[in-house]
Amino acid sequence: MLFEGEKTYVYWVGLILVAVASVILFQTVWGLRFYSVMVSEGLGDYIVNMIPNIVGSIVFVLIGLYMMKSGVKKNKPP
């Protein structure tokens, strides 16, 4: 498995980072869905304003996954 072994503090920080970034990304996409249903005008402006949230969340998810991967100490076979 990918995350087998002893988890260090880097793993746990990465896990928290992935969780928070995922919530923000989900909130942004979900808000985009409801905004498009409620307001037909100005949807393009909303999307343009949400680009930093979407890109930033994706970047932090990737950083968190890398931290999780590098924060696991592999167990040495006996």
Tens digit of each residue's pLDDT (9 = 90 or more) over 43-77:
677 778 889 999 999 999 999 999 999 998 887 77
Domain of 21, in residue numbers: 8-69
Average pLDDT, the chain: 86
Question: According to the model, what pLDDT value does residue 16 have?
Answer: 96
Find the length of the chain. Answer: 78
The conformational region for residue 42 under phi > 0 = left, psi -120 to 50 = alpha, else beta, is: left
Question: Residue 53 domain-assigned?
Answer: yes
Distance CA 64, CA 70 (A): 10
User: What is the distance in angstroms between the CA of the first residue and the CA of the last residue of the chain?
Assistant: 19
Q: How many domains does the chain have?
A: 1
Q: Looking at the domain assignment, is residue 40 inside a domain?
A: yes
pLDDT for the residue 78: 73
Is 59 within a domain?
Answer: yes
Query: Residue 42 domain-assigned?
Result: yes
pLDDT at 17 over 80: yes
In a domain, 76, yes or no: no
Percent of the chain with pLDDT over 70: 87
In a domain, 33, yes or no: yes
Whether the CB-CB separation of 28 and 54 falls below 8 Å is answered with: yes
